Structure 1
Amino acid sequence: MITQCNECLTHKELLVLYDIASLISDSRDIQKSLEKSLSALKNALDLGNCVIYKLEDEQLSICASIGFNKHQKNISEYKLGEGATGLAAKSMEPVVIANIHNDIIFLNKSGNKNNETISYIAVPLIAENNVIGVIGANLTKSTKIDFEQTVRILTIVSSLFAQYINSNMSITKEKERLEELKLYYKMEWDSKVHNFGDIIGDSEKMQNVYKVIERIAQSEVTVLVRGETGTGKELVASAIHKRSKRNDEPFIKLNCAAITDTLLESELFGHEKGAFTDAKETRKGRFELADGGTLFLDEIGDISASAQVKLLRVLQEREFERVGGSKTIRVNVRLVAATNRDLEQMVKDGEFREDLYYRLNVIPIDLPPLRKRGEDIKLLVNFFLERSMLNHKKRVSITNEAMSKLMSYPWPGNVRELENTIERIVLMGNEDGITAEDMMLLLPALNNEKASEKHMQIPFENKTLDDLEKEAIINALENSGGNLSEAAKVLGITQRQIGYKVKKYGI
């Protein structure tokens, strides 16, 4: 009885299913475990060539096979609906070719057909209601099971393979995403010059900003943060993300002004290999990296007309194509944009799309300049002072007279300029205490009485953001003797940015 049982087909099927389940659950090399599984299936049921095709971009190519050489693997590719293999993938149903020698649906691209082969059966691999591939097998003259039995066993096996391949794909995709995020955050960390920590300020104007953040953080609306350079727009975007439902997902940033027009679209949407001269490999853009999370686009007013059109489409349709690609990619991203420019005037001048402006300006948050935040200056001074002393292992104190000088200065570079100034004070200041006279030397703008008076006389209430920025740059250049590098340091911006601004305002 035992001998007869071992010979029965059902027992063989159970044994091969057990072998396959063991092989795919105890291996990290997907190709080897699939090939061993196909070999077990072929030998147990006397099948002919066995093959697993993987579906990518509507193209079926061999993932694992038994009985195919390298050349046959390369040429055995099928489009959806092409031949018996492609038809099985498209219809999501098994396809049986009873006689491969007189059925035109059997294309035999591999050239593997011989006199021993009689039939071919293709069964789709389905995971989460999606076709991810096809398993195919030949029935030969020595095969002892019929079409119905073969379809049954291949359907069971296809379910095991589909789950195994799908899980492996998900793990690989997640590893790639984490590696990309790791690389992105490393680049952010390496290139980051200013790190303000959390938002600091108790003034009424900042309290109003906090209230808006708390109200809109949990929603999915697009936010436009407005304010002068150095007021902390990135910190506001980060605060919104941290308090949102997406706080466990990526927070991705991009300064649109720091990238040329030709590279901006590639940074935003990614590019395919060979899309342009330096595109040596496919690369995901910031939108794909931020999928599920929040994307912060700083200096949004500086993007080109072409990028504006593509950005509008993403906001409307939640989809885009990489540069040089045709595949549509869908993303779920919350956008927080920021600008120091007068977008309304840019719309009137035809420099910025009106429909994009309204898409971005759903919830506006206006950040006050540092000169209008009163006692917040003292809070920020003490915060940066403590941190800088810790970094440089040096104790420095600021006298009340010196603090008054800091409080009276208009800070055209806002918080960023304040941070740089405090670091200079710690590095160059006297450990016995910074006096008002010391402060005049450490903050050159204060040392120029005429320049200081000019700062104080600026009628801010009647100026646009562009006017204030232009005057701040002019003052910084005058105080630094026309040295762009020194002026950029005073304002807390890069030399590239000040060069762009000088050209923009015709200074």
Structure 2
Amino acid sequence: MVPYEGKCGDCLTTKELMTLYETATVVSNSLDLVASLEKALHILKNRLQLEKCVIHTLQDDTLLTVYACIDFSKHQKELATYTLGEGVTGFAAQSKEPVIVENLHSDMLFLNKSGNRDKNALSYIAVPMLVDQEVIGVLGASMSKTTAIGFESTVRVLTILSSIFAQSIRSHDINLKEKERLKELKLYYKMEWDSKVHNFGDIIGESPKMKQVYNVVERIAGSNVSVLVRGETGTGKELVAAAIHKRSKRKDEPFVKLNCAAITDSLIESELFGHEKGAFTDAKEARKGRFELADGGTLFLDEIGDISASAQVKLLRVLQEREFERVGGSKTIKVNVRLVAATNRNLEEMVKNGTFREDLYYRLNVIPIDLPPLRERGDDIALLVNFFLQKSMSNHKKKVLITDEAMEILCQYTWPGNVRELENTVERIVLMGSEDGISADEMLLLLPAFNQKLMCQRRIYSEES
């Protein structure tokens, strides 16, 4: 074995130039990269009489497997697998330098794991395929008595082609990953749309307390710090998270959501971090988690106080190290995700009780945003009623009028379910109301909780009298 040391030689011959031109043309004009690379290897064989041409690519930074080849059977392809430093192929990848085996019949470095040695072959050359000094794989070929060019010329041609092949493979892999990411995001957003449980509309409200929320969102949206949105159920925590994302530098990247309370403890880690095939009974194929889907963008975790102790530990690691492993996997995956969490629970009390990790709490609570309940937002109630009224009338193709007296009742109601309850109530009003106008008495019938409370107050007053 002889490590190749480049020398300043003669110019490329016409034969070499034509070989380079034809191989580069074949690789650049095909949508099927493996097929085009094999055509390029055939050109090497036919023009320069190089035998057993093969391209290995580096997988998981440790294993070199056959990516494209000629004159190899399916079984031989499977056998021709090398680790870094193993054999001439592994040594070329490890050293990042071309390696020449002058006599492959006597040099122990030529392992011939595929069992595909040609008796006419005399020497073997392995050239690393590099992109910015990163090893993509190795291009190898055997020389025989009929090879049209010598050692130095062969190394020179293979080195030029290795760069072309490496760039093509790198670009192809990047495109595949991007297509897969877009496919998964499309599926994710389709599921979100089909579920019809999320409202992507803008936040409605002009009360002083909501203006305070807007001011905080504007100040912190451009940063990458974690945000903890707190408030009662139905106050619009998800809309605040979306508003932060839309105003951030990540606005063109994914906004991915997960309601932690809706996922069982046994599945929460799979939803967050993904899983490998066979990780558990129903894991029939590998699946990305929400962190991978949100890479480069924002991840919104609602009801963060409901995650298990095990998931809390892994979540803390992601926030600290920006890396994790899928369930059932060992490969470390790095991500760049901004986390916005939300809860209606008292996390401070949970920390005292030992049900929520104190270190995770401080990681999440870098910027706290407290959303006011609807009953404290004054005139915002009327604004929200009118907003949802127009939306519901458009959806149901029906016109309904709410009288001033009926609106007054809506504004007096305490709305324990907050904005979500108001939206559902307005839809009920549209379905049950008429174009002539809903009276105060009719509105009381459409607010069972309000009507029950009023009746209870009247009964107490009657008993006291």
Matched, 1:25 2:28: yes
Task: Give the corresponding residue for 1:258.
Answer: 262
Matched, 1:126 2:106: no
SS of match in other structure, 1:448: helix
SS of match in other structure, 1:198: coil
Task: Give the corresponding residue for 1:162.
Answer: 166
The AA in structure 1 aligned to 2:58 is: L
Shift of 1:213: 0.2
Task: Give the corresponding residue for 1:45.
Answer: 48
Give the TM-score normalised by the residue count of structure 1. 0.86
1:303 and 1:71 mapped to 2: Cα distance? 48
User: Is this contact kept in 1: 2:192–2:198, CA < 8 A?
Assistant: no
Shift of 1:146: 2.2
Matched, 1:192 2:212: no
Gaps of 5+ in 2: 1-10, 459-465
User: Is this contact kept in 2: 1:445–1:451, CA < 8 A?
Assistant: no
Task: Give the corresponding residue for 1:227.
Answer: 231
Task: Give the corresponding residue for 2:341.
Answer: 337
* Mapping 1:103-252, distance limit 5 Å: 103-195=107-199, 197-252=201-256
Shift of 1:129: 2.8
SS of match in other structure, 1:21: helix
SS of match in other structure, 1:356: helix
Shift of 1:132: 1.2
RMSD of Structure 2 on Structure 1 (CA): 1.4
SS of match in other structure, 1:60: strand
2:362 and 2:64 mapped to 1: Cα distance? 44
SS of match in other structure, 1:144: coil
User: Is this contact kept in 1: 2:256–2:298, CA < 8 A?
Assistant: yes
SS of match in other structure, 2:69: strand
Match of 2:292 among 283, 288, 292: 288
1:190 and 1:390 mapped to 2: Cα distance? 19
Deviations 1:374-403 (A, max 9, x none): 100000000000000011011101111111
User: Is this contact kept in 2: 1:405–1:436, CA < 8 A?
Assistant: yes
1:452 and 1:72 mapped to 2: Cα distance? 84
User: Is this contact kept in 2: 1:253–1:295, CA < 8 A?
Assistant: yes
Task: Give the corresponding residue for 1:315.
Answer: 319
User: Is this contact kept in 2: 1:231–1:367, CA < 8 A?
Assistant: yes
Matched, 1:54 2:57: yes
User: Closer, same or farther in 2 for the Cα pair 1:11/1:194, shift >3 Å?
Assistant: closer
SS of match in other structure, 2:37: helix
Alignment length (residue pairs):
447
Moved more, 387-396 or 122-131: 122-131
User: Is this contact kept in 1: 2:53–2:69, CA < 8 A?
Assistant: yes
Shift of 1:151: 1.1
Moved more, 142-151 or 444-453: 444-453
Match of 1:424 among 428, 439, 464: 428
User: Closer, same or farther in 2 for the Cα pair 1:413/1:196, shift >3 Å?
Assistant: farther
User: Closer, same or farther in 2 for the Cα pair 1:196/1:152, shift >3 Å?
Assistant: closer
1:101 and 1:193 mapped to 2: Cα distance? 69
SS of match in other structure, 2:13: helix
Shift of 1:324: 0.5
Shift of 1:86: 1.1
Task: Give the corresponding residue for 2:75.
Answer: 71
2:63 and 2:214 mapped to 1: Cα distance? 51
1:224 and 1:358 mapped to 2: Cα distance? 10
Matched, 1:402 2:406: yes
Matched, 1:13 2:16: yes
Shift of 1:445: 1.2
User: Closer, same or farther in 2 for the Cα pair 1:411/1:452, shift >3 Å?
Assistant: farther
User: Closer, same or farther in 2 for the Cα pair 1:171/1:451, shift >3 Å?
Assistant: farther
Task: Give the corresponding residue for 2:353.
Answer: 349
2:217 and 2:299 mapped to 1: Cα distance? 16
2:207 and 2:452 mapped to 1: Cα distance? 29
Kindly report structure 1 stretches of 4+ aligned residues shifted beyond 3 Å.
Answer: 449-454
User: Closer, same or farther in 2 for the Cα pair 1:93/1:347, shift >3 Å?
Assistant: same
SS of match in other structure, 2:129: strand
Shift of 1:24: 1.1
Task: Give the corresponding residue for 1:359.
Answer: 363
Matched, 1:299 2:303: yes
Deviations 1:1-32 (A, max 9, x none): xxxxxxx9711110011101110111101111
2:365 and 2:320 mapped to 1: Cα distance? 14
Gaps of 5+ in 1: 1-7, 455-507
User: Is this contact kept in 2: 1:446–1:452, CA < 8 A?
Assistant: no
Shift of 1:220: 0.8
* Mapping 1:470-481, distance limit 5 Å: none
Shift of 1:453: 4.7
* Mapping 1:496-507, distance limit 5 Å: none
2:89 and 2:209 mapped to 1: Cα distance? 66
SS of match in other structure, 1:53: strand
